[in-house]
Amino acid sequence: MNAQSIQKESWGTAKGKEVSLYTITNANGMKMQIMNLGCIITSLFVPDKNGELDDVVLGFDNLQDYLNGHPSFGTTVGRYANRIKNAKFVMNDSVYKLTVAGDGTALHGGNEFQDAVWDAELISTENGEGLKFHYLSKDGSHGFPGNLDVYATYLLTKDNAIYITFQAETDKDTHVSMTNHSYFNLNGAKELIYDHKVMIDADTYTEFDEDITPSGKLPPLKGTAWDLSTMTRLGDKIHDIPLNGYHHCYVLNKEAGEMKKAAEVIEPNSGRKLEVFTTQPGITVYASNGLEDITGKYGIAYRPHMAICLETQDLPDAMNHPNFPSTLLKPGEKYSETIVYDFGVVE
């Protein structure tokens, strides 16, 4: 194979619209499968140290399983990633009440973006090929103000990286924080993630209350079981952490808007390496602690600690914490954030 290719197939319908599955393959054999329902990455085949391909993300092999409900496998999350305390915020002297999740918070914007069927356009650049998705979130949707015009671009490069760009504009003051919610297992889900080694470039984190929303404090990570500031084997500490494992938002060591490496993951058995770069100020590390009673692709029974999510994002509940970087988006402004998942092998 000398060039990249994109293939499109019908995967069924949702909400009366056609759902298409797109397969993008580069010259190295790396392959990304993504659909226009939720801009969901359904599969990601990445070479290991011997050039052998494995699917390194969790998900399903059919549309119906996604429609039956799932814990955000591979989704584009919005309008607001992570939790908002008491499912409400105050802005311009008005109280905005949001869709309430089971724990009393607002979670992932009520899953609006992952449940939507997006318009899709094929794109080609010098560096790779991919898709540009478009969705209009209407004023008042899940309680958020403003008609929000959203674009999500997913590009597979010649160098085995995935570039994700989120852009949005609004006609009323609102709050926006988007992310991708892929569940990674760099050994192809052959075993749990305990041998994965992870480093996060952060010295502080968002302390959280019992409902997993921030308290407003940003304490140091040093001395905690969830400090990942140096390369750490996940299995060494994961059982010492409340909530059955990592579920923390790390405040990245970077300037606002700066594109910088946020995380590195190494899986020593396969030799695969994943580096994560972002313009966003935080990254939530979630070790799939609550994953159970789900059968995924290839008949694999998913269970806790089967994968790790690396959700680059604005800080959770930022609209309720003046000391957090602002997530306010006004008319005439453009929300724009970038995530890069750069795959390689350990030298």
Q: Which amino acid is at 249?
A: C
Provide the token pair at 143. Answer: 């309680």
Q: Which amino acid is at 27?
A: A
- The Cα 203–Cα 249 span in angstroms is 11
- pLDDT reported for residue 298: 97
In this structure, the chain runs to a length of 347
Residue in the structure block whose two tokens are 């930022």: 318
So where are the chain's domains?
5-345
Residue in the structure block whose two tokens are 């356009």: 121
Catalytic-labelled residue, pool 264, 311, 321, 337: 311
Q: Do 176 and 78 contact (CB within 8 A), yes or no?
A: yes
- pLDDT reported for residue 1: 42
- pLDDT reported for residue 210: 86
Q: Which CATH number fits domain 5-345: 2.70.98.10, 1.10.1030.10, 2.40.30.20, 3.40.50.150?
A: 2.70.98.10
Report how far apart, in Å, the C-alpha atoms of 228 and of each of 23, 94, 183, 205, 248 are: 34, 39, 18, 11, 11
Catalytic-labelled residue, pool 142, 175, 181, 196: 181
CB atoms within 10 A of CB 163: 19
Q: Do 169 and 157 contact (CB within 8 A), yes or no?
A: no
Binding positions: 82-83, 181-183
- The Cα 13–Cα 7 span in angstroms is 18
- The Cα 222–Cα 219 span in angstroms is 9
Peptide linkage before 79 cis (omega within 30 of 0): yes
Provide the token pair at 82. Answer: 């992570």
Regions of the chain short of the pLDDT cut 70? 1-3
CB atoms within 10 A of CB 225: 15
Give yes or no: 333 in active site.
no
- pLDDT reported for residue 4: 81
Give yes or no: 181 in active site.
yes
The overall average pLDDT reported for the chain is: 97
* Predicted confidence (pLDDT) per residue in 286-323, tens digit: 999 999 999 999 999 999 999 999 999 999 999 999 99
Binding positions for beta-D-galactose: 82-83, 181-183
